Amino acid sequence: MRLTLHIWRQKGRSDKGGFETHQVDNVSEHMSFLEMLDVLNEGLESQGKEPVAFEHDCREGICGSCGFVINGRAHGPMTRTTVCQLHMRSFKDGDDLTLEPWRAKAFPILRDLIVDRSAFDRIVQAGGFVSTNTGSAPEANSVPVRRDCADKSMDAAACIGCGACVAMCPNASASLFTAAKLAHLNLLPQGEPERLIRSEKMVLQMDIEGFGHCTNHGDCEVVCPKGISVTTIAQMNRNYVQATLLSSPREGDSTE
């Protein structure tokens, strides 16, 4: 098949970017989307031109680094699929495809389709841990965990931090990511001691990074390649409100 690609090109975060149009011929339906871009880049390099920069690592949908927007949808037209898992059989001969990086203040563009997602790392670093003694592995059944809590925790832990939720949210909110990282700890007994302070710290860091607020559009859940539920955001908000109420001085309390 033959495709027309309109690709965002930008040399760096301080440079002005714009779209470039390229034709790609002889695209096999068995290629992955990134393999198709590899073919495009081979052609550009043979002409002495700069290849299109895009990020990837595992190409198995588990690292989250490959994400960008295809025709206005994060990760492309398939549900619960990352760009690296997307195959060209999802498109047809003669299609026009527009490729853009994630658009968010907190995700500055590094080059072309690559953005800096280190803001996610700082959110996790603000409180994404549990304080437990280390040493030899404990007996697996020493801490009882309810089945429903274990299932919900594992569902939340499936988040790969790709940033699709931020890219598709009209407010560029990181609420789904933050809520998922909180839920997989807060739902377990091991995470209970720091549940409230962890929630407060990570939500505050999310605001510091410049992400917007959640207004319940639900676009984040639709494009999430792991299907993280927006119910995790409700859980995060409850924990955050509880934490702030407990930490706020009450009327009549001394501030000295």
Side by side, the strands of the sheet bearing 18-24 are 18-24, 3-9, 96-100, 69-70, 73-74
Q: Exposed (0-12), middle (13-18) or buried (19+): which is 64, by Cβ within 10 Å?
A: buried
* pLDDT of res. 131: 80
Among 75, 90, 110, which residue terminates a domain?
110
* pLDDT of res. 129: 83
* pLDDT of res. 250: 53
b/e code 1-25 from CB counts within 10 Å (16+ = b) = bebebebbbbeeeeeebeebebebe
Distance of CA 33 to the CA centre of its chain: 19
* pLDDT of res. 130: 82
CA distances from 15 to 21, 111, 113, 210, 241 (A): 19, 9, 14, 21, 41
| 82 lies in the same domain as 190 | no
| Overall domain count for the chain | 2
Q: Enter the pTM of the model.
A: 0.92
CATH of the domain at 86: 3.10.20.30
What's the average pLDDT block by block, 10 residues per block, for the chain (256 residues)? 98 95 96 97 97 96 96 97 97 97 97 98 92 74 89 96 97 98 94 95 97 96 97 97 82 52
* pLDDT of res. 141: 77
| 170 lies in the same domain as 79 | no
Q: Which domain holds residue 136?
A: 117-247
| 17 lies in the same domain as 49 | yes
| 86 lies in the same domain as 129 | no
